Amino acid sequence: MALAEAGVRGRLLRWPRVLLFGDSITEYSFQENGWGTYLAERLVRKCDVVNRGISGYNTRWAKLILPRLITESTGADSIAAVTIFFGANDSALKELNPKQHVPLEEYAANLKSMVQYLKSVDITADKIILITPPPLQESAWEKACLAKGDKLNRCNATTGQYAQACVQVAKECGTDVLDLWSLMQKNQDFSSYLSDGLHLSAKGNSFVAAQLWSRLEHKLSALPSLLPYWRDVDHTNPEASLL
């Protein structure tokens, strides 16, 4: 059978997508042992895990990009889940990092705007997970800043305010939320979760992966494996199994 003929006979295979949208903590999630890699491994043959992390970005810029990533005409119906993971840059101190800083009230409004946009293209609230920024280990991040000739441009208390705003937006919009800022500081020293005071270490990636998977697993558990197990393919008539 010609490939063209097989393509006509067979139904187009469309993998559902899990979209990871965020800043550098999302962009780096596909590195070795990253939390995005963990999700992709767990969802092989069920979903494509798509990394749309953009280092250095904040919610002011992200809300402009989101409609270019997902529209009704480009397969919003195939979205199985979306994570929105911003705040580490928004919460930068205005006087020391005005380019990335976004005021707290605007940050919350931007998150809400992104959730509302997703709902407008028929991505329901149960498919959306907001993720707060992780806590900031100030002494380690100060070393990273000084190495670049900068001053400490973030503080953990301020990051916590943005995390609380993220949690509140999730509550108002009816979405799930992963409050990393609180969870990582619960009864423990959180510094081991961070590689430079801001970005995740190997332990931090494992922590995020486990916490996020606990929220995604029940959402995605009903998704079937795509294409039959190889032992179940009729080798005498593979078209019957595969088309």
Please state, in angstroms and rounded to a whole number, the distance separating the CA atoms of residues 233 and 190.
49
Residue 218 annotated among the catalytic residues of the structure: no
Q: Please spell the DSSP secondary structure of 111-167, one letter per residue.
A: HHHHHHHHHHTT--GGGEEEEPPPP--HHHHHHHHHHTT------HHHHHHHHHHHH
CA distance 158 to 136: 9
Q: Which two tokens stand for residue 233?
A: 């393919």
CA distances from 37 to 33, 72, 141, 198, 205 (A): 6, 27, 25, 20, 10
Angle (CA) 76 223 114, round 5°:
30
Catalytic hit among 113, 195, 196, 201: 196
Which one of the listed residues 29, 90, 101, 199 is annotated catalytic? 199
Grouping H, G, I as helix, E, B as strand and the rest as coil, residue 26 is helix
Q: What is the token pair recorded at 122?
A: 């028929």
Burial class (CB in 10 A: 0-12, 13-18, 19+), 81: buried
Active site residue 24: yes
**What is the C-alpha separation between 134 and 37, in angstroms, rounded?**
19
Tell me if residue 126 is catalytic: no
Active-site amino acid positions: 24, 196, 199
